[in-house]
A = this chain, B = another copy of it.
Amino acid sequence: MDPVPPKSRDRAPTIRDVARHAKVGVGTVSRVLNDSPLVSEDARQRVHQTIDRLGYRRSSMARSLSLGRTQMIGVVAPFFTRNSVLERLRGVVGKLRDHGDYDLVLFDVETLTQRDDAFRSFARADRVDGLLVMSVRPTDEEVENLRREGLPAVLVDVAHPALPRIVIDDVLGGTMATEHLLAKGHTLIGFVGDEPTPFGFTSSERRRQGMARALRGAGIKRNGALEFRAPHGREEARASAERLLSLPEPPTAIFAASDVQAIGVLEAARSGGLRVPEDLAVIGFDDVEVAEVLGLTTVRQPLRETGARGVELLLAAIDGVGGDPTEELAPLTVIERRTT
A80 to B94, Cβ gap below 8 A? yes
A127 to B102, CA, bound (A): 12
Mark interface residues in A93-122 (1 if CB within 8 Å of B CB, else 0). Answer: 110010000011111100000100000000
A108 to B93, CA, bound (A): 7
A263 to B108, CA, bound (A): 29
List, in ascending order, chain B residues with CB within 8 A of A86's CB.
86
Q: Does A23 contact B (CB under 8 A)?
A: no
A337 to B162, CA, bound (A): 49
A264 to B267, CA, bound (A): 21
With an 8 Å Cβ cutoff, the count of chain A residues facing the other chain is 36
Which A residues contact B (CB, under 8 angstroms)?
Answer: 57, 59-62, 64-65, 70, 72, 79-80, 83, 86, 89-90, 93-94, 97, 103-108, 114, 124, 126-127, 234, 263, 266-267, 289-290, 293-294
Please name the 4 residue pairs, one residue from A and one from B, whose CB atoms are nearest each other, closest first. Answer: A104-B106, A93-B108, A61-B65, A61-B64
Known A61-B61, A290-B290: A79·B90 in contact at CB below 8 Å: yes
Quick one: which of B97, B124, B290 contacts A108, CB cutoff 8 A?
A: B97
A-B contact pairs, 8 of them (CB 8 A): A59-B65, A61-B61, A80-B94, A97-B108, A103-B106, A105-B106, A290-B290, A294-B294
A111: nearest residue on chain B (CB-CB)? B97
Q: How many copies does the complex hold?
A: 2
A105 to B57, CA, bound (A): 20
A79 to B86, CA, bound (A): 10
List, in ascending order, chain B residues with CB within 8 A of A124's CB.
57
Q: How far is the CB of A191 from chain B (nearest CB, A)?
A: 21
Quick one: which of B64, B94, B293 contacts A294, CB cutoff 8 A?
A: B293
Given A59-B65, A234-B293, A294-B294, 18 further pairs, Cβ under 8 A: A57-B124, A57-B126, A61-B61, A61-B127, A72-B105, A79-B90, A79-B93, A83-B289, A93-B106, A94-B108, A97-B114, A103-B105, A103-B106, A104-B106, A105-B105, A266-B293, A267-B293, A290-B290
List, in ascending order, chain B residues with CB within 8 A of A60's CB.
126-127
A128: nearest residue on chain B (CB-CB)? B103
